[in-house]
Amino acid sequence: MCKTAGDAAGGDGHAHNGHQHHHGKGAAHGHGHPEHGATVRIERDVMDRNDRLAEYTRGWLDGRGVLALNLVSSPGSGKTTLLERTVREFGPDRPLCVIEGDQETDFDTRRIRAAGARAVQINTGVGCHLDAAMVRRALADLDPPAGSVVFIENVGNLVCPALFDLGERAKVVICSVAEGDDKPLKYPHMFRAGRVLLLNKMDLLPYVPFQVERFLENARQVNPGLKVFPVSALHGDGLADWYDWLQQQAAPAQPAAA
């Protein structure tokens, strides 16, 4: 059986009748092999390796009572500003650590350390997202204490990070009003992947053509269960709701419900 049943001698067919096939350069097998030219069904999920590692990480974090959140957004939406303020205002209640993902530089790690939290930087080089293996290594370096919260600030990109499970409890999407109210429909995978959304830079609302109602309608079309907190990370408006949510998530024995 050279080929799958039904596939009668393909283009480069070399039926076994007279056994005159050739194998090109040094094919490493002898004759008498039963499945020569065989079609092998493997049915393997391409994300499997990443997802299994992420699952392992989730178990490791749960075992230590550590809450890990994956912060995703486009570049410039205010993730680092949000984290700086969160470190200063929520940090005193609970140990916080940050894993910073950027293509280049350690600017963000320095900002987080200056705000008062431990941080490790991952530079992805040409990579446009973090994956479970990178986060696994960063967590080993970070060694977050029991009961802490780990924020994973993903590479600024509204597309690729949606696909990669890092072992987090939830993805938190940050979107700023300066980006436009049509973003949920333009980047539906990311808005669908998030459990919570912080609509940031609300202080700019008077200056930009952004309709909050339209944004919410678009976001809920993609993700009806999405919880939205309108905030200004720069000035601190609306962040009490974010801290309450963090507190609920981080509380022991709290099931992962938004």
Residues 43-82 that bind other proteins (CB under 8 A): 43-47, 49-50
Tokens of 138: 């960063």
In contact, 70 and 170? CB cutoff 8 Å: yes
d(CA 49, CA 132): 9
Piece of 26-34, 57-65, 73-81, 94-102 that binds other proteins (CB under 8 A): 26-34
Element (DSSP H or E) covering residue 2: none
Q: Can you tell me which of 16, 23, 214, 235 binds other proteins, judged by CB under 8 A?
A: 23
Stretch that binds other proteins, among 67-75, 101-109, 183-191, 208-216 (CB under 8 A): 183-191
Tell me the site size for other proteins, rule CB under 8 A. Answer: 40
Options 160, 204, 212, 216; binder of other proteins; rule CB under 8 A: 160
Distance CA 189, CA 6 (A): 38
CB 198 within 8 A of CB 72: no
Would you count residue 5 as binding other proteins (CB under 8 A)?
no
Q: How far is the CB of 242 from other proteins (least distance, A)?
A: 25
Shortest Å, Cβ 88 to other proteins: 34
Q: Kindly state whether residue 258 participates in binding other proteins, applying the rule CB under 8 A.
A: no
Exactly one of 9, 27, 140, 258 binds other proteins (CB under 8 A); which one? 27
Which residue, 61 or 222, has its beta carbon nearer to other proteins?
222
Q: Contact between 129 and other proteins (CB under 8 A)?
A: yes
CB-nearer residue toward other proteins: 163 or 256: 163
Backbone angles phi, psi at 192, to 5 degrees: -75, -35
Site for other proteins in 186-225 (CB under 8 A): 188-189, 192, 220-222, 224-225
Give the DSSP letter of residue 236.
-
CB 53, CB 82: distance < 8 Å: no
Would you say 43 or 213 has its CB closer to other proteins?
43
The dihedrals phi and psi of 45, each to the nearest 5 degrees, come to -70, 130
Q: How far apart are CA 98 and CA 111, in angstroms?
A: 11
Interface residue with other proteins among 1, 9, 15, 38 (CB under 8 A) is 38
With contact defined as beta carbons under 8 Å apart, do 150 and 99 qualify?
A: yes
DSSP state of 145: P
In one-letter notation, the amino acid at residue 106 is D
Residue 152, beta-bridge partner list:
70, 99
- Which residues of this chain interact with other proteins, rule CB under 8 A? 3-4, 12, 23-24, 27-29, 35, 37-47, 49-50, 127-129, 131, 159-160, 162-164, 185, 188-189, 192, 220-222, 224-225
